A and B are shown apart, each in its own frame.
Chain A
Amino acid sequence: MKLLIGLSVLAVITMMMGLFKSRKIVLPVVVLGLLGLLYIASGYGCYCEDKMFGMYINEHQFLKMFDINKNSGLVGLIMISGLLITILAHKGFNYTENHRADMHALMLFSMCGAVIAVSYTNLLMLFLGIEIMSIPLYIMAGSNKHDSSSNESGLKYFLLGAFATGFLLFGLALIYGATGSFNVNQIYNYTHNQLNVSGGIFKMGIVFTMVGLVFKIGAAPFHFWTPDVYSGAPSIITSFMSTVVKIAGFGALIFFFNGVLHPMGAEWGKTFAIISAATMILGNVTAVYQISLKRMLAWSSVAHAGYLLMTVAANGNNVPKAVVLYLAAYSLASIATFAVLITTGKENFEDYNGLGKRNKWLAIGLTISLLSLAGVPPLAGFMGKYYLFTTVYEQYPWLVIVAICTSAISIYYYLKTIIAAWFKKGSEDAIQVPLSTVFVILVCILGLIALGLMPQVVLDLA
Chain B
Amino acid sequence: MSEYLFYFLAFVSIFAALLVVTAKNPIHSVLFLIVTFFAIAGQYIILNAQFLAIVHIIVYAGAIMVLFLFVLMLLNLNKESEPVKSYLMKGIGVLAGCLLALVMVAALHKSTMSPALGNPNEDIGLVGNLGKVLFKEYVVPFEVSSLLFLSAMIGAVMLGKRDPKIEPVNEITN
Is there a direct interface between A and B, measured as CB atoms under 8 Å apart in the complex? yes
Residue in A116, A135, A143 with the greatest tally of chain B CB atoms within 10 Å: A135
Residues in A with CB closer than 8 Å to B139 are: 53
Q: Does A99 contact B (CB under 8 A)?
A: yes
A109 close to B147 (CB less than 8 A): yes
A143 close to B158 (CB less than 8 A): yes
Q: Report the bound CA distance from A431 to B171 in whole Å.
A: 37
A8 close to B118 (CB less than 8 A): no
A123 CB to nearest B CB, Å: 10
Residues in B with CB closer than 8 Å to A203 are: 107
Q: Is the interface of A mostly helix, strand, loop or mixed?
A: helix
Q: Report the bound CA distance from A3 to B158 in whole Å.
A: 26
Given A106-B154, A109-B150, A195-B115: A142 in contact with B144 (beta carbons within 8 A): no
9 nearest A-B residue pairs (beta carbon): A139-B155, A200-B107, A200-B111, A55-B140, A109-B151, A180-B117, A180-B116, A200-B108, A124-B141
Which of B107, B137, B166 is in CB contact (< 8 Å) with A146?
A: B166
Residues in A with CB closer than 8 Å to B110 are: 200
B116 close to A196 (CB less than 8 A): yes
B155 close to A138 (CB less than 8 A): yes
Q: Does A105 contact B (CB under 8 A)?
A: yes
Of the listed stretches A125-133, A402-410, A444-452, name the one at the interface; the rest are far from the partner chain: A125-133
B148 close to A142 (CB less than 8 A): no
Chain A residues 96 to 153 lying within 8 A of chain B, measured CB to CB, are 98-99, 102-103, 105-106, 109-110, 112-113, 116, 122, 124-125, 128, 131-132, 135-136, 138-139, 142-143, 145-146
B118 close to A180 (CB less than 8 A): yes
A128 close to B116 (CB less than 8 A): no
Number of A-B residue pairs, CB cutoff 8 Å, is: 110
Q: Does A178 contact B (CB under 8 A)?
A: yes
Residues of A that sit less than 8 Å from B by CB: 4, 8, 11-12, 15, 52-53, 55-56, 98-99, 102-103, 105-106, 109-110, 112-113, 116, 122, 124-125, 128, 131-132, 135-136, 138-139, 142-143, 145-146, 177-181, 190, 195-196, 199-204
A99 close to B109 (CB less than 8 A): no
Interface size on B, residues (CB 8 A): 34
Q: Report the bound CA distance from A53 to B152 in whole Å.
A: 27
Q: Is the interface of B mostly helix, strand, loop or mixed?
A: helix
Q: Does B112 contact A (CB under 8 A)?
A: yes
Residues in A with CB closer than 8 Å to B111 are: 199-201
Q: Does B89 contact A (CB under 8 A)?
A: no
Chain B residues 95 to 149 lying within 8 A of chain A, measured CB to CB, are 104, 106-112, 114-118, 137-141, 144-145, 147-148
Residues in A with CB closer than 8 Å to B150 are: 12, 15, 109
Apart from A112-B147, A195-B116, A201-B111, 10 more pairs, CB < 8 Å: A106-B154, A128-B145, A139-B155, A139-B159, A146-B166, A177-B117, A178-B114, A180-B116, A190-B116, A195-B114
A113 close to B147 (CB less than 8 A): yes
A128 close to B144 (CB less than 8 A): yes
Q: Report the bound CA distance from A102 to B104 in whole Å.
A: 43
A199 close to B112 (CB less than 8 A): yes
B114 close to A179 (CB less than 8 A): yes
Residue in B107, B110, B145, B155 with the greatest tally of chain A CB atoms within 10 Å: B155
Residues in B with CB closer than 8 Å to A195 are: 114-116
B155 close to A135 (CB less than 8 A): yes
Which of B109, B159, B166 is in CB contact (< 8 Å) with A200?
A: B109
Q: Does B164 contact A (CB under 8 A)?
A: yes
Residues in A with CB closer than 8 Å to B117 are: 177, 180
A196 close to B115 (CB less than 8 A): yes
Q: Does B80 contact A (CB under 8 A)?
A: no
B155 close to A179 (CB less than 8 A): no
Q: Report the bound CA distance from A55 to B144 in whole Å.
A: 11
Residues in B with CB closer than 8 Å to A56 are: 140
Q: Does B163 contact A (CB under 8 A)?
A: yes
A201 close to B151 (CB less than 8 A): no
Residues in A with CB closer than 8 Å to B106 are: 200
B141 close to A55 (CB less than 8 A): yes
